[in-house]
Amino acid sequence: MAGSRGARRRIRWALRHGIIRRVVGKRAREGDLGARLMVDPAVLAQPFPHYDALRAQGRLVNSGIALASAHHDVATEVLRSQDFGVGMRMPENLPGILNLALKAGGRWTLGPIEPPSMLAVDPPDHTRYRKLVTRAFSARAVAALRTRTEEIAAGLLDQIAAKPGDTTDLIDDYASLLPATVIAEMLGAPVEMSRQFLKWGAGAALSLDAGLSYRDFKRSELDIDALNSWMLGHFETLRRNPGDNILSALVTAYDEGDRLTEDELTSIAMLLLAAGFETTVNLIGSGAALLMEHPDQLAVLQTEPERWGNAIEEMLRVESPVQRTGRVARRDTEVCGIPVTAGTVVVLLIGGANRDPEVFTDPHRFDVTRPEAGQNIAFSSGIHYCLGAGLARMEGEVALRALFDRFPDLTPAGPAHRRPTRVLRGYEALPVTLTRAWVPA
């Protein structure tokens, strides 16, 4: 039984990642930039010069596998175009062998980029799912969460200050726990499970990348399955004890037959949970690192705190937590005057678009007063524009303000480690010395 489960998983891996891994690896060895951006660890660590080089090659660069762009106008046009979608439709007349392999692969896990995830479906399903959860993330709902987020930040900083010694890992003790606690409370999930959610979330985050190794694929499937099983049990708890939270409302919508299948319900819930803490952690971690590297910019914020909102935009721009996304042409079309045929995959390098010199002057400079910082597309554009953008901005500002108010002399303590993921960019570990805590007068 376990053996056939393993064999099915191998087939799923081969179809979803193995083939891409092989083709992309070969193209990368031949020097193709788009492919190197996917697999070369050195490029991954510092992708920005490579985005510049790719941008210089053209508006849409053909890597033989997909078209890629690091241009701001191209990315924005594709993301807003109705000629592009996220749904990879299987061709009607799939070759027999592929059809057989698909069947032999068994059931796919309900990952964040597998249908029926909101991220992976086009209208009308996308419209239906999004409508169910939009209200919970409205500007008004986010404003109401600010005070609670400030309390959570203060509580975590108290714990850090109370630890023996004056070094800490900012990711483990702060940047990850703050958004995890906020989203767990929003979803009526037990806050004491935050660390478990973070572990499952790290596995789910891997699944965003194409061309995974079998080991990473297996880990991501097992973590997603564990999260899925936990979620099904959690729905039962919410049915018995509904609370004033989004998931209780979704479970009720499902129970009342609001055209939502159990897979749809689970997928929405898992996306909210995982998106809630797998992305904002990177904004907080990278934002803290940027301010430690640029004390002059921190000084600007200390004297002019009204600039914090713009500073968050600038952090999202220079260290975009989501570095890339993709779309598929639904029909023959044009992008910025360039013809694109139906079925073509277009990779949009958000991290590159956010450093496009046509939009951002001196784009590699981190400047919290930059007037055009808000033109970044870190939260995407068009119908899939991040549902949690307002929440993430609020969490980022509250977290970083509270951190630097409490520890204004925060400095790096030893080497930081980046996460191994390609779509998501951020730190896995960021050791810091707290130095001196600010004591209220």
**Residue ranges that bind ligand HEM, judged by CB under 6 A:** 118-119, 130, 183, 271-272, 275-276, 279-280, 283, 321-322, 325, 378-380, 384, 386-388, 391-392
Nearer residue to ligand HEM within complex by CB, 208 or 434: 208
CB of 158 to ligand HEM, least distance (A): 24
Q: How far is the CB of 424 from ligand HEM (least distance, A)?
A: 9
Least Å distance between CB 426 and ligand HEM? 9
Q: Treating both helix axes as pointing N-terminal to C-terminal, what angle do 295-303 and 308-318 enclose, rounded to 10 degrees?
A: 150
Residue tagged 């995974």 (tokens): 212
DSSP helix/strand/coil, 341? coil
Nearer to ligand HEM, 335 or 387 (CB): 387
Shortest distance (Å) from residue 86 CB to ligand HEM? 6
Burial of 220 from C-beta contacts in 10 A (0-12 / 13-18 / 19+) = buried
Rounded CA separation 78/348 (Å): 8
Please say which residue, 130 or 401, places its beta carbon nearer to ligand HEM. Answer: 130
Q: Residue 49 burial by CB count (10 A; 0-12/13-18/19+): exposed, middle or buried?
A: exposed
Q: How far is the CB of 183 from ligand HEM (least distance, A)?
A: 6
CB 324 within 8 A of CB 421: no
Task: Give the C-alpha separation, 159 to 277, whole Å.
Answer: 20
Residue 366 or 379: the one with the smaller Cβ distance to ligand HEM is 379
| Phi and psi based region of residue 343 (left: phi greater than 0; alpha: psi -120 to 50; beta: remaining) | left
Smallest separation (angstroms) from ligand HEM to the CB of 272? 5
Closest to ligand HEM by CB, 47 or 105:
47
Identify which of 82, 52, 84, 40 has the alpha carbon closest to the alpha carbon of residue 66: 84
Residue closer to ligand HEM by CB (options 279, 310) is 279
167 vs 381 by CB, closer to ligand HEM: 381
Residue 249 CB, nearest distance to ligand HEM (Å)? 15
Q: With b meaning 16 or more CB within 10 Å and e meaning fewer, what string describes 104-113?
A: ebeeebbbbb
> What's 424's DSSP letter?
B
Sheet (strand 67-69) strand order: 61-62, 67-69, 345-349, 324-329, 84-85
Report d(CA 161, CA 166) in Å as an integer: 8
Q: Which residue is nearest to ligand HEM (CB)?
A: 388
Which lies closer to ligand HEM via its Cβ, residue 50 or residue 384? 384
Minimum distance, C-beta of residue 101 to ligand HEM, in the bound complex (Å):
27
CA distance 332 to 341: 4
Q: 231 and 184 in contact (C-beta within 8 Å)?
A: no
For ligand HEM, which is the closer residue by CB, 81 or 325?
Answer: 325
Q: How far is the CB of 110 from ligand HEM (least distance, A)?
A: 14
For residue 25, give every residue at least 6 positions away whose Cβ sits within 8 Å of its Cβ, in sequence order, or none: 35, 39, 211
